[in-house]
Homo-oligomer: A and B are copies of this chain.
Amino acid sequence: MNSSALSYTFSQRAQKLTGSAIREILKITVRPEIISFAGGLPAPKGFPTEAINRAYDRVLAQMGPVALQYGPTEGYAPLRAWVAEDLKRSGAHDISVDEVLIVSGSQQALDMLGKLFVDPGSKVLVEAPSYLGALQSFSLFEPTYVPAPTDEGGLIPEGLTDERVKDARFIYALPNFQNPTGLTLSLARRQALVERCAAVGLPIIEDDPYGDLRYAGEALPGLLGLGRAAGATVIRLGTFSKVLAPGLRLGYIAAPKDIISKLVQIKQATDLHTASITQMAVYEVVKDGFLGTHLPTVRELYKQQCTYMLDAMATHFPATATWTRPEGGMFIWVTLPAHIDSTELLARAIQKNVAFVPGAPFYTDEDAPKNTMRLSFVTVSEAKIREGVAVLGQLIKES
């Protein structure tokens, strides 16, 4: 833009940021002709637009000057109290308001936890594979990732050997319908995980964006409640993105008070506080039990969409491919025959107007398997799911 464009010096972390080739490819998936299984977008059909509109009306009419003013960094007190109470549904019965901090979406929680725990080179344990957005967030603080072993049941607690956990700052885990695999950790593994982490003093970051979207199997207690009983330090992240709407950018952290206290200082430096009006409107929506009637309709929608895709995959995918059968959430994880590189498959799929996310970027180690892919099924119509899966099946068979 001008001659001084080369005169500034970025930080080392910023210099390490590089464009993602896959992100560039996926940019074209917004074209209407593309059948995209790539996104992590919730289904807009599930957004309670009218209830949200009424809530904004009420908040602005009754509490406008508060809703439009700066607010406390900790968050809107009634919403924090609601979250503390709501956490009982996940089996955490003793959470106080002081242990809840409201954040601008749980992605922000990841950024704040990176600031709290990670020095350059700090050891951080992540499931292999793990949520890409968390890896991006933590990476700004330059950790050394240590993959925690997983199998078809998700994270393997016995894999947290003394050597692996030594000096690690935390383990980051998604116990319900994991992103990207769709896998759910069994109760036995949850119990073993919190006991192991309590024994070795390893804090657990429990990220649970999808827990309320269970449409099969039985609800399992979250790590926060199990961890407290076992003496483990658990930091739980929750979000309103999947139970209400992501465009609100609202989530929370539940953690021991001394951790919340540090996070409040970090949050103040990061963005002062989360929008007052948004917090108050969401509280208006949820305060009288709205989710109890709303969530079943969302779950039914997601279950139906998942069924469409699993049916189509059973019809069109070759027997050499295997995939997960999620009990909730938004994602199916596919393992292709070992000779197929899913990034190359994506290039061919895009030419036929179908998109997905290759699995490799969800791993932190460079020699990760290249024959995996993540399929999201929630925003695509039944007909388009069948059409897109048929295209993918044909391409896989041709590979």
Chain A interface (Cβ < 8 Å from any Cβ of B): 1-5, 7-14, 17, 19, 40-42, 44, 47, 49, 52-53, 56-57, 60-61, 64-71, 99, 104-105, 107-108, 111, 115-119, 122, 133, 136-137, 139-141, 167, 169-170, 198, 201-203, 228, 231-233, 241, 244-249, 256-259, 262, 265-266, 268-278
Contacts and interface: CB of A to CB of B under 8 A. Distances in A.
A119 B12 contact: yes
A44 B68 contact: yes
Most chain B CB inside 10 Å of its own CB: which residue of A52, A117, A277: A277
23 contacts: A1-B256, A1-B258, A4-B198, A4-B201, A10-B117, A11-B116, A11-B117, A12-B119, A13-B119, A14-B116, A49-B60, A53-B64, A67-B247, A68-B248, A69-B245, A107-B270, A107-B271, A107-B272, A137-B270, A249-B271, A249-B274, A271-B271, A278-B278
Contact of A64 (B49, B66, B140, B256): B49
A295 to B, nearest CB: 16
Given A68-B44, A136-B268, A247-B277, A201 B7 contact: yes
A271 to B, nearest CB: 4
Number of copies: 2
Given A141-B11, A275-B278, A47 B68 contact: yes
A52 B60 contact: yes
B117 A8 contact: yes
Contacts of A201: 4, 7-8
Contacts of A119: 11-13
Given A116-B14, A269-B111, A271-B105, A247 B47 contact: no
B233 A136 contact: no
A53 B44 contact: no
Contacts of A202: 7
A105 B272 contact: yes
Contacts of A272: 105, 107, 133, 249
A104 to B, nearest CB: 5
B65 A44 contact: yes
A133 B198 CA distance: 37
A323 B271 CA distance: 31
Given A7-B201, A117-B14, A47 B65 contact: yes
Contacts of A271: 104-105, 107-108, 111, 249, 271
Contacts of A69: 41-42, 44, 47, 245-247
Contacts of A141: 11
B64 A47 contact: yes
A248 B64 CA distance: 11
Contacts of A64: 47, 49, 53
Nearest to A17: B265
Query: Interface centre among A53, A258, A272, A274, by most B CB within 10 Å?
Result: A272
B70 A247 contact: yes
Contacts of A53: 56-57, 60-61, 64
A259 B99 CA distance: 37
A40 B273 CA distance: 14
B3 A231 contact: yes
Contacts of A60: 49, 52-53, 56
B44 A246 contact: no
A7 B258 CA distance: 12
Contacts of A115: 11, 13-14, 140
